[in-house]
Structure 1
Amino acid sequence: MKNLLTFLILVVLIISCTQTNPSFNKQDIALIPKPTSLQINAGSFEFNADTKLVVQDNSQQKAANYLKGLFASAAGYNFTEVNSETDASVIFESVTGLKKGAYKLVVNPMLINISASDESGFFNAIQTIRQLLPIEIESKEKVSAEWYVPSVVIEDEPRFKWRGMHNDFSRHFIDIDEVKSFLDYLALYKMNTYHMHLTDDQGWRIEIKEYPLLTEKGAWRTPNNQDSICMERAQENKLYTIDEAKFKTIDGERKYGGFFTQEQIKEIVAYAEERCITVVPEIDMPGHFKAAIDNYPFLSCTGESGWDTVFTHPSCLGKETTYEFMKNILSEVVELFPYEYIHIGGDEVNIRSWEECPRCQKAIKDNNLKDEHELQSHFNRDIEQFLHSKGKKLMGWDEIVEGGLTKDAAVMWWRGWRPEAPKKAAENGNELVITPTDAYYFDYLNDGNSLEKVYNYEPVPESFTAEEEANVLGIQANLWSEWIPSFTRLQYQAFPRMLAVAENAWASKENKDFEAFNTRVEQHYPRLEELGIYYYIPIVKGLDKTIGLVDSTMVKLELAYPLEGVDIYYTTNGSIPTKETNKYTEPFTVNDTVEIKARAYKGDIYNDIKKTKVVRKEYISSVNISPTEKGLKRYLIQGKLKSVTDVNIKSASKWVAVDSIDIAEFKGKKPVNMVFSGYFKAEKDGIYQFETRSDGGDYLYIGDTLVVDNSGWHGPRKRYGNVALKAGWHPITIKYRPSDNPRVINAWYGLQGEKLKPIDSKVTGF
């Protein structure tokens, strides 16, 4: 009878709370990452000053502390911990059998129950509660709000162990308070790994007591082109402004830089640890070591420091002093970072220095190594054994696969164009982190690696077997800072794309849908604003190419994608567009050569300026000819040529008829130069846009007029041009000089402002 009475009282209380506390529907809940399962029930739980927590063991304490910290700041509540569940409002319950990071969350009007098998599971559950609460929970000052959490039942677990973000401190530096803010962002979205790229050619950012010059001098540089270009861009875009606090005068010279003391590193690691985030340091070696070699020149092969054609001269691997130096550094680093992995970089090493160094050549011979790649692997294995002696594991970029590596090493795959690297590492049994340029390089503009592209990228290669997939630790996005000189710009580059990485790292690939995800992202923008995060908004489209006109032309602008509250402002006199200039409402007419600039605004958030020039064109008359055959003639010219200018048709050249402009059967084979020749038909008078994509280089001519100049040595890239054509047939010529590894030559056309179409036999003849 007593138990029945207790049950009836509990039912009455639940019904009473359900009637007074609001209910929520599916549209009200926007969790990122998407949970494995979500059930929404009637009513909600309300946090108040009397809310109590049951914390039963140490694995629950970090989560409880974080929850208490949120409410202490935003509501002024000081939750107490109790031992009895009957007095509690939030119950932490340790269970067995759940995956690391997994949790079960049950919320009803009477209580919240959180179940997990480890501390990260409890912590992740708190982040879910954080997202279910009003955005005011992010406030650093006491605010007035109703702290309701919807009644839900959530069962959730992560897909990957490694859910990471990377910051590059060498090119441009962010300070400890900014790092802490970034760690809070990671925590909110259940990301658990923070990769600190602490050293590179442009600056050394961690105190090493054995070698004080690394930070006394190596952390400070004379401003370089990465600084000057950012400062130039800052004239139109304040996001590129470099904080004056990052400069100081040394020996009468203005220097840029900064570094973390070892005490600050400990503070960062502890702050991350309280958020169940592991910090992985990267000390780049043996390449990207100029900041060290500048101040300890005995480390190089020649006793000098500097740049070769592309990369800097690396450390000499024929000197014992190099190995000693590296190990002394790492001896201090391993004491600061408790996680098992130490990242040593290993990418983009200029092996030419070793080819010319007698000491390195002797090391190759003495150790029975095949080449310079094996010399680097020999170095890696030596460093790896040293790290093992310190209880650590070695990690590096995917170049360390070349020359061989042990099964204990872990690899970060970044070169999307080298798919054999992750496959080789996975087959060898090495653990992998997927972080390719194809999607996860966030220093690339949002225009290229877009939110949708990032979200739809499947990180595990299709060729992987189930056993190889098991070696994938997870994924990571990288923020290389050449053009990220401020924390505000870093936020702009990271958000909202970081949310896509968070969901890719957490949700199964079967549990994903971009449209639904994007709807949730839009619901998160107010929370990002409450956190003071300056996020990317859609760019203005329509000014990516020069606009041609004969008499006048219509200019149409649009956003890259629709987003409520975003407006376009533009100018036609070359001045910076602000909310005080022209607001775009409809296409406008331009009848003179002007410079148009436009940018989008969402409140105080704006994005990069898009701009172009309007250029007057004279019509090119058509020729009096009617081709008898469809398509184009293609001429092949053998031999390696210096430039596209050297691609010329000889009288004895043989030609074949082709339907389209492509590399055809020559892709990946011995380079062969090509000329495509014939006639292009303009259906009506107008400004025509032409575009080419090639590796190596190309020119596109209409008659004798060079319309597209895509010359120079380069990988696959696009270039465009426009021209005014009278209706009818026009001579067209495309010259292509391939790279050493021929990959692509394509061409498109279209009336200005219209979608481009491929140049093929439908519009060409000879």
Structure 2
Amino acid sequence: MKNSRKGIIFFLLCLAGVAVKPVFAQGDRYDIIPYPASLTAGTGAFTITPTTRINAAPGKFTNEVAQLNQLIKRGLGVTLKPGAGSKAINMVYDETLPIEGYHMDITPAAVTIKSRTPAGMFRAVETIRQLLPIGLENGSYHGKTLSLPAVSIADQPEYAWRGMHLDVSRHFFSIGYLHKFIDLMALYKMNKFHLHLTDDQGWRVEIKKYPLLTRQGAWRTFNNQDSACMKMAKDNPDFEIDKSHIIQRDGKTLYGGYYTQAQLKELVAYAASKHIEIIPEIDMPGHMMAAITSYPFLTCNGENKFGELFSKPICPCNETTYEFAQNVFDEIMQIFPSQYIHIGGDEVDRTDWAKSAECKAMMQREGIKDLAGLHSYFINRMEKYFNSKGRRLIGWDEVIEGGISPTATIMYWRTWVPDAPVKAAKNGNSVIMTPGEPLYFDNPADQYSIYKVYHFNPIPAKLNKEEAKAIIGAQANIWTEKIPSENRADYMFMPRMTALAERLWNGDAKNYDGYLKRLTDQYKRMDALKVHYRLPDIPGIVSENVFTNNAVLSLKKPLAEMTIRYTTDGTLPQTNSMVLAGPLNITKSTNIKLAAFMPNGLRGDIYNITYKQQSLAPAVKANITAGLKCDYYKAFFKQTSLIESKKPDSSFTANNIVVPASVNAPSFALVYKGYINVPESGIYTFYLTCDDGGILKIADRMVVDNDGLHSAQEKNGQVALGKGLQPFLLKFIEGGGGFALKLKYSFNGSTPAEVPSTWFKN
């Protein structure tokens, strides 16, 4: 009734000739990501015209004036001239504000922005950017004025490190794409760009002292990662290898590329204009095959191959190794003025070091007790060199294993070593949180991904308030083994980055619904910026469906402008495929492929949906006790089907589907078997989340196949069950590197819930 009364009053005032400005809902006017720390809605709007002036503090904010004028010129066709007066945009120096903080007041009379630093002023400019018409992003806005809604904002970031990482070694990306990546980071107030420039698969930065690093190390024949992408490209063009990075040389087809020092220096300057620091990573002593190919003297024995898990590293016991490393980093420091240099230091196969006479002699000479200590010797020696040049070292969390100085910065990624960031923080190290779950954006996204990123807490629970100060922020990592194109890169990190941006900027995970509403508007901005983002998931889809008589496929579009199209002949949905305009009645077994399309042709995920007619499985009779029998195998398996080749190491009774604390082998398998006592007859849906893999069979019917080695992902399926005891079998494998196992169910379409422990029998 209150809204109706306001509408009547508004109508009567209009009839009376009274000038009335409409009152907007706060979310409609301020669809800002990340949301400001404090925002108070105002009344009216500030109008920008060609006569509006920008009044900046003398000698300050020159770059920020230019950045704002770039935006305005896209809309008005002209830049604003400097000067004071009424109807001006005022950029004011305020030494009381934090480093990246700003205060902004927009009224119909003026815009006043206060900041202590150019970085803070630039963050305010990016807020203004999100308040201006989306058409400015692609030049489609052609008005005579621009309008900013009235608002008062007091804003500052919660975390100093708000980072994004991009691996350009596994697959290479153009320098233009790196510019686009930086633009998107700036839009959402991210400030650290971790550029992974070298790895086994390619060396991507010109080093003039060692020209073979790029002449040879930047190029490769197609490898198994490329062939895997080519196979997936048959169904999704995003997986096509970028032809612009393929050359013919000496009768061979080679893939790769590299950046010249001049290109990277320009990129650094471009990022700096948007107050983004580029942190280069030259990964060593491991992940150096691309360098060893050209300079085999770097190894202890001249070999350049993979060990059991990782590639053979460079040798930390030869002075020629340190001469090479220092020469490389000298040139890196000339390109990148960042206070940080990332040395990697992860995933090192140290076995060859143990065989080296030089390493044995060094360990005895330096009092090094083990190979982990030798690893640390290399990292600590390089850190001293970095420090002598005024730089700080960052390493992945493996570098703490043999001892690390408290002046190094640690990047935590191994979720299966939860004490690593705690140990580093207690050692006095600054820590950047980058755990694989949920911040490895190369892991496939699903309907839970954005939620998990938004609710990620960078502070480990075991740290007290004082120790928590060591956590300087977080970043998301994009490893590109299965990301061969720029479109695929866009898809993998957008819109997940917007959730991380809000979490790190305002430190508040309590406004998720508001964030999702604002994200809906941000999709339009991404469209204008030609971002090949991942469309929101279509909710409620079950991959493997069963029915007794008939079923109904009824879906709700997450975005109003979406069109859902489908096929039943096995072909992929296209823009001219049949439209799913309403409920679809299923009366026979069938396979459906469907996808959502946006008006601009952007296609969402392809869903493969199977419907199978199935009778209710009759219940069985058995003498039962509570819980399931669980067999525990201390071995590595690539597939659950291989478990039968081994005998279990032990068995126990499990009351629910969880991995107990007593299961601590680095690689293992669990087989849960017995019965599930279902209380009603009908269609049951089961949701199995696995990292690595698992399968679920009920009533001797395959219900969910989530097999293989992969990151945490949920798959679902249905089964028709009669009331009572039904045979139950769940197999789970963990290949190493952290695990996840969860089983939920729903009955006749109910909300998914944990399977009650009272249902499990054996």
Please give the alpha-carbon distance, in whole angstroms, between the structure 1 residues aligned to 2:422 and 2:124: 35
* Deviation (angstroms), 1:509: 2.9
Q: Is the 8 A contact 2:56 2:65 kept in 1?
A: yes
* Cross-structure match for 1:59: 60
Instruction: Give 3-state SS (helix, strand or coil) of 2:466's partner.
Output: helix
Q: CA deviation at 1:585?
A: 3.6
> Could you list the per-position Cα deviations for residues 422-457 of structure 1 after superposition, in whole angstroms to 9, with x for gaps in the alignment?
111111111121121122221122206611211111
1:96, distance to aligned residue in structure 2 (A): 1.2
What is the distance in 1 between the residues matched to 2:714 and 2:533?
A: 28
Contact 1:540-1:557 at 8 Å conserved across structures: no
Q: Percent identity?
A: 35
Match of 1:9 in 2: none
How far off its partner does 1:273 sit? 1.1
- Residue matched to 1:72: 73
Aligned-partner Cα distance in 1 for 2:320–2:226: 33
Q: Distance in 2 between matches of 1:378 and 1:67?
A: 48
Q: Which residue of 1 aligns with 2:15?
A: none
Tell me what 1:565 maps to: 561
Letter of the 2:326 partner, please give it.
K
After superposition, give the CA deviation of every residue in 1:691-729 in whole Å (9 maximum; x if it has no partner): 767789877666777777778888988777766656654
Determine the structure 2 residue equivalent to 1:606.
603
Query: Matched residues in 2 for 1:339 and 1:188: separation?
Result: 21
Give 1:386-535 correspondences, 5 Å limit.
386-447=385-446, 450-509=449-508, 512-535=510-533
8 Å Cα contact 2:630-2:654 kept in structure 1: no
Q: Give SS of 1:415's match.
A: coil
Q: Secondary structure at the match of 1:461?
A: coil
SS of 2:629 mapped into structure 1: strand
Equivalent AA in structure 2 for residue 608 of structure 1: D
Change (3 A) 1:721 1:565: closer
| Cα distance in 2 between the residues matched to 1:747 and 1:688 | 13
Residue 278 (structure 2) aligns with: 279
Q: 1:497 to 1:321 in 2, by over 3 A?
A: same
Q: Is the 8 A contact 1:700 1:733 kept in 2?
A: yes
Aligned-residue offset at 1:119: 0.8
> Matched residues in 2 for 1:148 and 1:19: separation?
18
Aligned counterparts of 1:275 and 1:36: Cα–Cα separation in 2: 21
- Structure 2 counterparts to residues 123-162 of structure 1, below 5 A: 123-140=122-139, 143-144=142-143, 146-162=145-161
Q: TM-score, normalising length from structure 2?
A: 0.87
Q: Is the 8 A contact 1:287 1:347 kept in 2?
A: yes
Per-residue Cα deviation, 1:20-39 (whole angstroms, up to 9, x for no partner): 98775513111221112222
* 1:600-644 CA distance string (max 9 Å, x none): 112222112121455676876554x354x4424637789879853
Select the residue among 561, 567, 572 that pairs with 1:576: 572
After superposition, the Cα gap between the structure-2 partners of 1:587 and 1:311, relative to the gap in structure 1 and judged at 3 Å, is farther
Please tell me whether the aligned partners of residues 100 and 119 of structure 2 are also in contact (alpha carbons under 8 angstroms): yes
Structure 2: which 5+ residue stretches go unaligned? 1-17
Which 10-residue stretch deviates more, 479-488 or 698-707?
698-707
Report the secondary structure of 1:96's partner residue: coil
Instruction: Indicate conservation of the 8 Å contact 1:647/1:735, yes or no.
Output: no
**Does structure 1 conserve the Cα–Cα contact (< 8 Å) formed by 2:49 and 2:146?**
yes
Counterpart for residue 48 of structure 2: 47
Deviation at 1:170, TM superposition (A): 0.8
Deviating more after overlay: 356-365 vs 723-732: 723-732
Instruction: Name the aligned partner's letter for residue 600 of structure 1.
Output: A
Secondary structure, in 3 states, of the residue corresponding to 1:86? coil
Q: What are the superposed Cα offsets for residues 657-699 of structure 1, whole Å, 9 maximum, x if unpaired? A: 7644555573448999877554444666666666767789877
Shift of 1:563: 2.6
What is the CA–CA distance in structure 2 between the aligned matches of 1:742 and 1:111, rounded to whole Å?
A: 54
Post-superposition CA distance 1:97-154 (Å, at most 9, x none): 2100111112222222221111111111111111111112223477225301122221
Q: Amino acid of the residue matched to residue 601 of structure 1?
A: F
Residue 364 of structure 1 deviates from its aligned partner by: 2.3
Q: 1:202 Cα shift?
A: 1.1
SS of equivalent to 1:606: coil
Mapping for residues 137-536 of structure 1, pairs under 5 Å: 137-140=136-139, 143-144=142-143, 146-447=145-446, 450-509=449-508, 512-536=510-534
| Amino acid aligned to 2:534 | Y
CA contact (8 A) 1:647 1:675 kept: no
- C-alpha RMSD over aligned residues: 3.5
Q: Is the 8 A contact 2:555 2:583 kept in 1?
A: no
- Equivalent residue letter for 1:248: I
- The separation in 2 between residues aligned to 1:29 and 1:697, in whole angstroms, is 43
* 2-structure distance, mates of 1:421, 1:402: 9
Whether the 8 Å CA contact 2:544–2:703 is kept in 1: the answer is: no
1:515, distance to aligned residue in structure 2 (A): 0.5
Structure 1 position 576, deviation (Å):
0.8
Question: In the superposition, relative to structure 1, how do residues 107 and 322 fare at CA in structure 2: closer, same or farther (>3 Å)?
Answer: same
Taking structure 1 as the reference length, the TM-score comes to 0.87
CA distance in 2, matches of 1:737, 1:166: 30
Q: Which residue of 2 aligns with 1:32?
A: 33
Work out the CA distance in 2 between the residues paired with 1:277 and 1:115.
20
Classify 1:695/1:214 alpha carbon distance in 2 versus 1 (closer, same or farther; 3 Å): closer
Count of residue pairs brought into register by the alignment: 739
State the alpha-carbon separation in 2 of the partners of residues 480 and 740 from structure 1: 18
Change (3 A) 1:53 1:728: closer
Structure 1 residues 357 and 718 mapped into 2: Cα distance closer, same or farther (>3 Å)?
A: farther
Amino acid at match of 1:522: T
Q: Tell me which residue corresponds to 2:14.
A: none
CA distance in 1, matches of 2:65, 2:728: 71
Contact map agreement 1:76 1:142 (CA 8 A) in 2: no
Give the whole-Å Cα distance in 2 for the aligned partners of 1:633 and 1:167.
44
Q: Give 3-state SS (helix, strand or coil) of 1:447's partner.
A: coil
* 1:122 maps to 2:121: yes
Q: Which moved more, 1:327-336 or 1:401-410?
A: 401-410
Mark the CA change 1:709 to 1:153 in structure 2 (over 3 Å): closer, same or farther.
closer
Name which of structure 1's ranges 673-682 and 122-131 shifts more when overlaid on structure 2.
673-682
Distance 1:241 1:637 in 2: 41
Amino acid across the alignment from 1:556: L
The change in CA–CA distance for 1:31 and 1:640 in structure 2 (over 3 A counts) is closer
| Unmatched tracts of structure 1, length 5 or more | 1-17
Residue equivalent to 2:553: 556
Give 1:55 deviation, angstroms: 2.5
CA contact (8 A) 1:678 1:732 kept: yes
Distance change >3 Å, CA 216–CA 544, structure 1 → 2: farther
State the Cα distance separating 1:401 from its structure 2 match: 1.4
Q: Which moved more, 1:426-435 or 1:322-331?
A: 426-435
Measured against aligned partners, the alpha-carbon deviations of 1:459-490 in whole angstroms (never above 9, x if no partner) come to: 11222222222222222112222222222222
The aligned amino acid for 2:516 is: N
- 1:612–1:742 Cα change, 3 Å: same
Q: 1:205 to 1:716 in 2, by over 3 A?
A: closer
- The answer to whether the Cα contact below 8 Å between 2:279 and 2:336 also exists between their aligned partners in 1 is yes
1:155 partner SS? strand
1:577, distance to aligned residue in structure 2 (A): 0.7
Q: Structure 1's 580 and 647: CA in aligned 2 closer, same or farther, altered over 3 A?
A: same
Task: Identify the residue that residue 12 of structure 1 maps to in structure 2.
Answer: none
Q: Secondary structure at the match of 1:522?
A: helix
Distance 1:295 1:725, change over 3 A: same
Contact residue 47 and residue 147 of structure 2 kept, 8 A: yes
Choose 104-113 or 381-390, whichever is displaced more.
104-113
